Amino acid sequence: MLGLRSTIDNAILVNMASPYEIRVFGDPVLRKVAEDVTEIDGSLVELANDMLTTMYEEPGIGLAAPQIGISKRFFVYDLGDDEGPKALVNPVIAESDGEWLFEEGCLSVPGLHWEILRPKQIHVVGYDLDGNEVSLEADELLSRLIQHEFDHLDGVLLVDHLEGDERKAAMKTVRELFIMPPEEPEPKKRLFGGLRLP
């Protein structure tokens, strides 16, 4: 009885702890241009909450819907400041200014980081999970995070921001880590079925 009960509790816990698996480099969904969200409703709120749970578990500070296999234009984030968790639906980067070189990683390319040059400040518009219009001036880390998550909605990954030899080296690394097939298995020894030698 106790055993059964604890198995059920564990199953629920596991399910609650990680509702979604994060897609990694090589998954085609990460390369698709996502579609606009057409309805902001309870199911989107629920999905955003599940995405936040997945994101916190990694841990990460942002997660876009395509990263869990849902090709829709929205993402969640939490910088760990007083603002708390946020979601941005159908975002549009209306303006950008300045330049800032900063090291970035991505939950879909785990364990790797590159210095990426991006605009420093942005003005982003979109919707929150109540369907209200959002108009946000973002700088530094928040600006960086929003631009990174916005890229995921257009099928853009960090390596796409690199150039020349740095890009070549990065592509080689990610292919080896996430795409290369495992080594060919040893060929099976030929069997002489049925033949018996005296």
- Alpha-carbon distance of 52 to 64, in angstroms, equals 10
CB of 22 to Ni ion, least distance (A): 9
Closest to Ni ion by CB, 9 vs 140, is 140
Closest to Ni ion by CB, 112 vs 136, is 112
Name every residue whose Cβ is closer than 8 Å to that of residue 108 and which is 6 or more positions away in sequence: 22, 23, 24, 25, 27, 30, 67, 152, 157
* Residues at the interface with Ni ion (CB under 5 A): 106
Closest to Ni ion by CB, 38 vs 54, is 54
CB of 106 to Ni ion, least distance (A): 3
- Alpha-carbon distance of 112 to 106, in angstroms, equals 8
User: Tokens 């150039």 sit at which residue?
Assistant: 163
Q: Which residue is nearest to Ni ion (CB)?
A: 106
Distances (CA, A) of 14 to 18, 135, 176, 177: 6, 37, 30, 27
